[in-house]
Amino acid sequence: MKNKKKLALVSMITATALSILSGCGSSGSNGGNEGSEANNSDQVHLKMAWWGSQARHDATVKVIELYEDQNPNVDIEYEFYDYDGYYTKLGTLAASESIWDIVQLDNQFPQYINQLEPLDEFVDNKIIDVSNTNEKYLSTTTYDNKLVGISNGVNSFALAYNKTLLDEAGIEEPTDDWTYEEFEKMNAEIKNKLDIYGVSRMDDFIHGAIMYVPQTEKGLNFYDKSNLSTTLGFDDPNILAPYFEMRKNMVDNGSYPELGGIDTNTDSAFQAIRDRKAAMVFIASNQLVELMKGMPEDQEIKLINPPRITKDGEAGIPLRSSQMLSISKNSKNKEEAAKFINFFQNDEEANKILAGERGVPIMENIREMLIKEGNPATLATFEYLEKVSELDNGEINVFDSSLNPEIQAQYNLIKEKVILGELTPNEGAQSIFDFATDILK
Amino acid sequence: MKEKFRRFMNEDNVVGHVFALPFIIGFFLITLIPMALSLYYSFTDYRLGNPISWIGFDNYTKLFADDRFMNAIKVTFIYVLTSVPLKLVFGLFVAYLLTRNIKGTTFFRSLYYVPSLIGGSISVALVWKEIFSKTGLINVLLSKLGGEPLSWYGDQKLVMIPLVLMSVWQFGSAMIIFAAGIKEIPKSYYEAAEMDGANKLQSFFHITLPMLSPIILYNLIMQTISAFMTFTQAYIITNGGPNDATNFYALYVYNQAFKFNSMGYASAISWVMLIIMGIVTLLIFKSSKSWVAVK
Amino acid sequence: MTNKKIKKIALYLFILILGLIMIYPVLWMISGSFKSDNEILSGSLNLIPKEFKDGNYSAGWAGFAGISFFTFFKNSFIVSSISTIATVLSSTCIAYALSRIEFKGRKFWFAVMLVTMMIPAQVILIPQFLIYNKLNLVGTYIPLVLPHFFGQAFFIYQIMQFMVSIPKELDESAIIDGCSKYSVFTKIIFPLLKPSIITTIIIQFYWKWDDFMGPLIYLNNPKTYTVSIALKLFADAGSSTSYGSMFAMSTISLIPVFLIFLFFNKYLVQGISTSGLKD
């Protein structure tokens, strides 16, 4: 009968489809969380993930294959995503306690601290070799007296400025000890003389909170360093007001883009520099290479540390880990994961491939190797970080609270309200102070 | 025995359940259980990767005091109340136009339908974002017409416009359904009206609209529900700004769940919105008794 | 010129201009696929690129870490096709029950179906993930495809309306001839649903194609990624967005749209008959 045949056909197709599907997806990834079960015989399976750009994905996979060649008993299943996608996925995996064995994390890691395995033991028994680095670099990933990861590269904050443009306007270059007052004046001058933005983008939370509080007084921090950022590290809300005021002034006089403009993402902010529509931009030092892509050859771009409050005051600038590799607490192959991390950070051939794209490597031999390779943007970044290393007073808290995303989002919202005139700078400062105090309880 | 079985299987009750079985099973397996879990989460403080702790109604009291949430409801309603009627009116208008005798109606109907098909993609959202940027197409057109470029994404009062327009741009889905409905209205009705001396406008209001009212209801429900759930455009184009002017509730839920890691609170917000949407839908259905023509 | 002719010209003009507006964003995207990222970011509106750059297609096609877009397109095609077929099969059955069969609980399940359309995906994402994880199905395509075997509310409702336009007399005469209610479905109803099914296929295929949340959460191995994730990978917030590559690959994604245009044009309106839209 026609119907029976149809039904049979449909069921067959469905059954085949389902079996293809369950085979298809799992052939490479061993299903859900079986991946890192304890090895039968010699085969070790590790799972690893990271976020980044196309270039980073290509390079990282090459390094993984290099490691697998040298260690045939190890099979690494990898995944990669864009930044937002990565953290969405990480959240879901954290919910089921099945985070990847080797996980890349940035300053958001405190949210997942319960899922991380400290690495001190592996350093102690030399599985992870730290002889080529020093305490200062290791401290950027030491949290609550435990080494929670090995940094993929340190970075810090800077302003990149177009020297050629400043020369054309007859404006003097900024100096290391320049203040926010001088910064504001310089931007107004750029606007008046050249009719372009002074700066295309600033990371307001970092400038106005994370750096501003330590700049006010040595020992003060936005998040309290002594208790792992579980409370605020200052008690006078008014500290935050001047930055809000400056930001509002800059938008009002046209030296900074208005809301919703080119400062909403790095792409357009960087392009504005290339197009000479702005003279300066905030960058994390490892973004310099990105900024220089497509930069017209006749424009000279230099780095300067962010401004401070008073000429003789604190620089407020820390050396941070841009991101690190950590090991999951639930990993069944922690030692093998540690071995890979050791390779990733120490092996010269691997790092030739990675090319310091994630940040300035913490291992001295790797840095020297990259210097020999001679990419000018990389060299400029290294030099800058050496300067920062000297300016870093060691008291600055480089770790955020686990509630930082929410606090930062609220800070930016308040900032927008101040710029729109809905709140005065002091009201804004009080508001964010209260908000942060409240949710950190 | 076999006969009894056959009769049993052919009872309406059984047939209905057999054919509806996929939905019923699916509902229990992949909808009801997750929904129950999310309801449970809404009474907890749950941060992914950390232990769950019961906090009773705290999330719910929190959300009534949460300015950002109240604002999210407000802007979502504004979006729904502007985009849905505009979309329906425009869809109906164009559907009506295309029923005239013009060459290429099928081509244009499909053309107008394309935006609805591809509107959910990231690339299209990015293109739309660019069109309304300071130096984008719209501002260029404005300057050519003698106006000033506007800061679409920087002005709280303006920012809803690009998003509403993007929604209206996708009127194709509503239009197609209206077009089908208009086609089905018997020509004889119009002919009779013409003989009675009615003009085109009168025919439209006294014949077309009433005949289409069930379809208008269907479109109204579907478009309203989908407008309430708008996420991708706000996420990609404005990220909720400026100053939360486009912080649609779906975006707020996403941020709470995945950016702020507050799964419990996000769940509470979702349940409140679900109830609100349910009430709105119910109201629409109830009101339909007075304006929808039943055959 | 007569009044009538002026009106007609105005009508044509309106329709043409509207068509252009409708299609402009797509044209811009296609032209962007031939521009350099710098040109795209500089906000150039031209539909003709300043410098024609065909490198975007090869750069984009190269994909990530040695996995070319061919793989991603293949994966998307598999997932979308199977989902679509599943949706069609299940939704027609369910629509048949809800609109043709008087059974206990019919009104209840109809209401439930409507409510399921209002559930925000984000919030049942985690609970669903946990369930699939327990069943060891994460990393496969099953979580992506399985829901479609249970019907999709949007299409169920739409097919329900269309079904009402199929005269009940056909059912009745078939039953008199000895058909069971089951054969009525397979022999009579289902074949007559063809236009509605084609509309369902067109819409469901594309919705599935563009969905990135599901693949992001449930797929692990990059070799299994779909086009939607891959496109999103071009927009990494930590580094720069490769607009050129993204637009290039998105343009290729549009090819099925054009094919639909060619072959299924006329079904789009046919498929949504509404003669019986009533509660």
The pLDDT tens digits for A367-381 are 898 888 878 888 898
Res. C277: pLDDT tops 50: no
* Contacts with B229 (C-beta within 8 Å, 6 or more apart), sequence order: B250, C118, C120
CATH number at residue B281: 1.10.3720.10
Assess if residue A266 is contained within a domain.
Answer: yes
Contact flag B49-A420 (C-beta cutoff 8 Å): no
Give the pLDDT of residue A156. 92
CB atoms within 10 A of CB A211: 26
* H runs (alpha helix) in A223-282: 241-252, 266-274
Residue type, B266: A
pLDDT at A1 over 70: no
Distance CA C181, CA C71 (A): 44
- Any chains having at least 3 CB pairs less than 8 A from chain C are A, B
The lowest-confidence range among A22-36, C54-68, C231-245 is A22-36
For residues A25-32, give the mean pLDDT: 39
pLDDT at A406 over 80: yes
The residue whose two tokens read 């500290």 is A239
Same domain assignment for residues A266 and A408: yes
Instruction: Give the per-residue pLDDT at A2.
Output: 43
- pLDDT tens column, C99-144: 888 888 888 999 899 888 878 777 788 788 888 888 889 889 999 9
**Dist. CA A189–CA A169, nearest whole Å:** 9
Same domain, A181 and A244: yes
pLDDT of residue A28: 38
Number of domains present in the structure of chain B = 1
- pLDDT confidence band for A325 (50 / 70 / 90): very high
Q: In which residue are the tokens 């692990």 written?
A: C220
Both A333 and A427 in one domain: the answer is: no
Q: Provide the pairing of β-strand A301-304 with A74-81.
A: unpaired
| Across A217-222, average pLDDT | 92
Asked if the structure places residue A26 within a domain, the reply is no
Distance in angstroms (rounded) separating the CA atoms of residues B119 and A317: 44
Q: Whole-model pTM?
A: 0.87
What tokens does A112 get?
């997942």
Q: Is there a domain that residue A108 lies in? A: yes
Strands A150-155 and A320-328: antiparallel
Answer yes or no: do A222 and A288 share one domain.
yes
B108-143 as b/e, with b when 16 or more CB fall inside 10 Å? bbbbbbbbbbbbbbbbbbbbbbbbbbbebbbbeeee
Tell me whether residue A19 is in a domain: no
Does some domain include residue B10?
A: no
Q: What's the token pair of residue A306?
A: 């962010």
How confident is residue C44, by pLDDT bands cut at 50, 70 and 90? low
Question: In angstroms, what CA-CA distances link B112 with B173, B184, C227?
Answer: 9, 21, 25
Question: Greatest CA span in chain B, whole angstroms?
Answer: 85
Instruction: Check CB contact under 8 Å for B47 and A259.
Output: no
Q: Is A394 helix (H, G, I), strand (E, B) or coil?
A: coil
**Are C186 and A32 an interchain contact pair (Cβ–Cβ within 8 Å)?**
no
Residue A290 domain boundaries: 157-319+393-439
Mean per-residue pLDDT, A217-231: 91
Asked if residue B29 belongs to a domain, the reply is no
Return mean pLDDT, chain A: 87
The closest CB to that of C104, out of B13, B120, B136, belongs to B13
Question: Residue A30 domain-assigned?
Answer: no
Residue B90 lies in a domain: yes
The answer to whether residues A434 and A311 belong to one domain is yes
A184 falls within a domain: yes
What total number of domains does chain C contain?
1
The residues facing B45 across adjacent strands are B53
Q: Is there a cis peptide before residue C25, judged by omega within 30 degrees of 0?
A: no
Q: How far apart are the first and last CA of chain C?
A: 48
Tell me the residues of chain A between 45 and 84 that have a Cβ less than 8 Å away from chain C. 47, 51-54, 56-58, 60-61, 77-84
Question: What's the rounded Cα separation, in Å, for the pair B41 and A298?
Answer: 58
CA–CA distances in Å: residue B18 to residues B12, C95, C102, C168: 10, 12, 13, 20
> Is there a contact between B130 and C12 if contact means CB atoms under 8 Å apart?
no
In the predicted structure, residue C262 carries a pLDDT above the cut 80: no
How would you classify the pairing of strands A74-81 and A102-105?
Answer: unpaired
- Asked if A230 and A165 sit in the same domain, the reply is yes
Per-residue pLDDT band at C272 (split at 50, 70, 90): low
C275 domain residue, yes or no: no
Query: Confidence band (pLDDT; 50, 70, 90) for A29?
Result: very low
Residue A15 forms part of a structural domain:
no
Is residue A37 in some structural domain? Answer: no
What does each C-alpha distance from A380 to A301, A367, B116, C13 come to in angstroms?
10, 13, 49, 58
Residue C140 pLDDT: 93
**Are B181 and C161 inside 8 Å of each other by CB?**
no
Stretch A291-319: mean pLDDT, rounded?
A: 91
CB of B156 within 8 Å of any CB in chain A?
yes
ipTM score of the complex? 0.86
Closest by CA to C92, choosing from C147, C152, C144, is C152
pLDDT at A18: 57
CATH at residue C94: 1.10.3720.10
Task: For residue C135, give the amino acid letter.
Answer: L
Within this chain, do residues A213 and A295 fall inside the same structural domain, yes or no? yes
The answer to whether residues A248 and A131 belong to one domain is no
| A359 and A329 part of one domain | yes
**Mean pLDDT, contiguous 10-residue spans, chain B (295 residues):** 79 84 90 91 88 92 93 96 95 86 77 84 84 84 86 90 93 85 82 83 84 87 90 88 91 88 90 91 90 71
- What CA dihedral angle connects C85, C88, C91 and C95, to 10 degrees? -160
| CA gap C92, C196 in Å, rounded | 10
Residue numbers in B near A11 (CB within 8 A): none
Structural domain span for residue B167: 58-291
Single residue among A348, A366, A385 that ends a domain in this structure = A385
Is the per-residue pLDDT at A24 higher than 50?
no
Rg of chain C in Å (alpha carbons): 23
Alpha-carbon gap, residue B221 to C118, rounded angstroms:
11
At A23 the pLDDT is 47
Query: Does A9 score more than 70 pLDDT?
Result: no
pLDDT score recorded for residue A327: 96
Q: Which three-class secondary structure string do you get for chain B?
A: CHHHHHHHHCCHHHHHHHHHHHHHHHHHHHHHHHHHHHHHHCCEECCCCCCCEECCCHHHHHHHHCHHHHHHHHHHHHHHHHHHHHHHHHHHHHHHHCCCCCCCHHHHHHHHHHHHHHCCCHHHHHHHHHHCCCCCHHHHHHHHCCCCCCCCCCCCCCCHHHHHHHHHHCCHHHHHHHHHHHHCCCHHHHHHHHHCCCCHHHHHHHHHHHHHHHHHHHHHHHHHHHHHCCCHHHHHHHCCCCCCCCCCHHHHHHHHHHHCCCHHHHHHHHHHHHHHHHHHHHHHHHHHHHHCCCC
> What is the rounded CA–CA span in Å between residue C236 and residue A104?
15
Q: Is C199's pLDDT higher than 90?
A: no
- Give the B:C interface size as CB pairs under 8 Å: 265
Q: Which residue has the higher pLDDT, A256 or C39?
A: A256
Q: What is the mean pLDDT of residues C249-256?
A: 86
Asked, for residue B127, whether it belongs to a domain, the answer is yes
Q: Decide if pLDDT at A25 tops 50.
A: no
Size of interface A-C (CB pairs under 8 A): 156
Residues A238 and A312 in one domain: yes
Give residue C267's pLDDT band: very low, low, confident or very high (50, 70, 90): low
Query: What pLDDT, on a 0 to 100 scale, did the predictor assign at position B220?
Result: 92
With respect to residue B51, please indicate whether it lies within any of the assigned structural domains: no
Question: Do residue B122 and residue C261 have CB atoms under 8 angstroms apart?
Answer: no
Question: Is residue C258 in some structural domain?
Answer: yes
Q: Are the C-beta atoms of A271 and C42 separated by less than 8 Å?
A: yes
Nearest to B23 among C113, C114, C207 (CB): C113
With CB atoms and an 8 Å threshold, state whether A21 touches C183. no
Do A82 and A190 lie in one domain? The reply is no
The whole-angstrom separation of Cα A425 and Cα A419 is: 9
Nearest to A261 among B49, B134, B260 (CB): B134
| Interface test mutation site (partner B, options A111, A263, A407, max chain B beta carbons within 10 A) | A111
Tell me how many domains chain A contains.
2
Cβ count near C134 (within 10 Å): 11
Residues of C within 8 A of B273 (CB-CB) are 120
Chain C interface mutation, best of A200, A203, A267, A292, highest count of C Cβ atoms under 10 Å = A267
A21 — pLDDT class (breaks 50, 70, 90): low
Per residue in A332-353, pLDDT (tens digit) is 999 999 999 999 999 999 998 8
* Residues A313 and A416 placed together within one structural domain of the fold: yes
Q: Average pLDDT for residues A193-211, to the nearest whole number? A: 94
CATH classification of the domain holding A55: 3.40.190.10
Instruction: Report the distance separating Cα C78 and Cα A261, nearest Å.
Output: 40
Local confidence band at C269 (pLDDT 50, 70, 90 cut-offs):
low
Interatomic CA distance for residues C76 and C212, integer angstroms: 11
Q: Test C233 with A81 for CB contact under 8 angstroms.
A: yes
Phi (first) and psi of residue A270, to 5 degrees? -65, -40
Distance between CA atoms of A149 and A319, rounded to whole angstroms?
A: 16
Residue in C closest to B271 by C-alpha: C119
pLDDT at A116 over 70: yes
DSSP string, A40-104: STT-EEEEEEEE--HHHHHHHHHHHHHHHHH-TTEEEEEEEE-HHHHHHHHHHHHHTT---SEEE
Chain A interface, mutation test: which of C36, C41, C245, most A Cβ atoms within 10 Å? C41
